[in-house]
Amino acid sequence: MNKLYLGGAIFTVLMLILTYLSVGTSKGGFNGDIVNMLAIAGAIALVIITVFVVIKYVRQMQVDSATGELADENWDGIGEYKNSLPTGWAVMFLLTMIWGMWYFTIGYPVNSYSQIGEYNEDTAVHNAKFEAKYKDITGDRLVEMGESVFLAECKVCHGINADGIDGKAANLNKRIDAASVKHVIENGSNYQLLGSEMPMPDRNGLFNNNTGALITDAEIEVVSKYVANGMSGDGADIFVGACSACHGEDGKGMEAVAPNLVAFSPVLVTNVLTHGKKGMIGVMPKFDRLNDKQKEAVGAYITNISK
């Protein structure tokens, strides 16, 4: 027998023996579990196919010579033959596709048990119990819960004191800073701070009604500082002319139109946690792992510390 075939047969037998020893003799063994049986069948098929393919192509390299019509293209003198697709490769590819369809529909259907599915179900049950237990808490207890959630989920970026850790995330001790206001005015936003798709236009859509012209760079600088300073100082006239139609003359926003620029609210924070937010610093992800009550609590906590 050719040494190549002999080596392949010995390797295949050894791999099958090792597979049996690692699974068949372990605690629980095969146990009649279809998942275990499919895994073993897959391992056996993988070993046999791998050995077969290696032997086939090594043997071809030993004895075969390339023939056929060369393609016109070549790379550094290396060309390709216009040979048809190998029948064996095509058959194996087709069989693999058939096996895949069988596996997902009959062998191990997508609606069968999975650890991820069990985790999601357990999480849903836990969240329902959590919501029922804490649905009525308000006031200081809600703020205390929000602080706990903040320290567990938010302090990594925003810091223990919610000061943003040197600009790596927003400073939540104040509603907004001048650089962030300027960024939003220049680029617009669609952060769903109201919980719905209500985009703010960029600077090309903002007019100062006092002058009838598009808002200028100088006006953006002044009004950004005005908003960041708690709606005080220079810039009130620019704000009234360009921003008050949506945000109100006092900057406290209008329901279903524009958010409050003066202070945080539990609803605003909840919407940021639900939808995420893209700003001057970068992108804040949405927090799907928090349930509605936890988001409300974080909102209450942020609103409380930013007063």
For residue range 67-126, list pLDDT tens digits in order. 778 888 888 888 888 888 888 889 999 999 999 898 888 877 777 777 888 888 898 899
pLDDT of res. 243: 93
What is the band of 30 on the pLDDT scale with cuts at 50, 70, 90?
low
The two structure tokens encoding residue 208: 């100062």
Q: Is 37 annotated as a binding residue?
A: no
* 118 assigned to some structural domain: no
Same domain, 182 and 250: yes
* 275 assigned to some structural domain: yes
Same domain, 37 and 96: yes
Q: Is 284 annotated as a binding residue?
A: yes
Number of domains in the chain: 2
**pLDDT tens for each residue of 172-181:** 999 999 999 9
Residue pair 16/10 in contact (Cβ under 8 Å)? The answer is no
Distant-in-sequence, close-in-space partners of 210: CB < 8 Å, separation ≥ 6: 237, 238, 240, 241
Q: Is 198 annotated as a binding residue?
A: yes
pLDDT of res. 95: 94
What is the band of 280 on the pLDDT scale with cuts at 50, 70, 90?
confident
Residues pairing with 74 in the sheet: 79
Same domain, 37 and 81: yes
Q: Centre a 10 Å sphere on the Cβ of residue 258 and count the other Cβ atoms it contains.
A: 20
Using the structure block, give the residue that is written with the tokens 């719905």: 196
* 117 assigned to some structural domain: no
* 67 assigned to some structural domain: yes
Check whether 8 has a pLDDT greater than 70: yes
* 89 assigned to some structural domain: yes
Q: Report in angstroms the alpha-carbon separations of 56 from 4, 63, 65, 88.
A: 10, 11, 14, 11
Check whether 255 has a pLDDT greater than 80: yes
* 144 assigned to some structural domain: yes
Host domain of residue 19? 3-112
Q: What sign for the dihedral angle of Cα 74, 78, 82, 87? A: negative
Q: Is 280 annotated as a binding residue?
A: no
Same domain, 264 and 210: yes
Choose one of 67, 92, 112: the last residue of a domain.
Answer: 112
Query: Long-range CB contacts (< 8 A, 24+ apart) of 124-132?
Result: 127/291, 130/291, 130/293, 130/294, 131/291, 131/292, 131/293
Q: Is 183 annotated as a binding residue?
A: no
Q: Is 158 annotated as a binding residue?
A: yes
Same domain, 96 and 173: no
Q: Is 200 annotated as a binding residue?
A: no
Phi-psi region of 151 (alpha: psi -120 to 50; beta: other; left: phi over 0): alpha
Same domain, 46 and 159: no
10 Å CB burial of residue 7 (0-12, 13-18, 19+) is middle
**pLDDT tens for each residue of 209-227:** 888 899 999 999 999 999 9
Same domain, 43 and 157: no
Dist. CA 52–CA 50, nearest whole Å: 5
Q: Is 275 annotated as a binding residue?
A: no
pLDDT of res. 4: 80
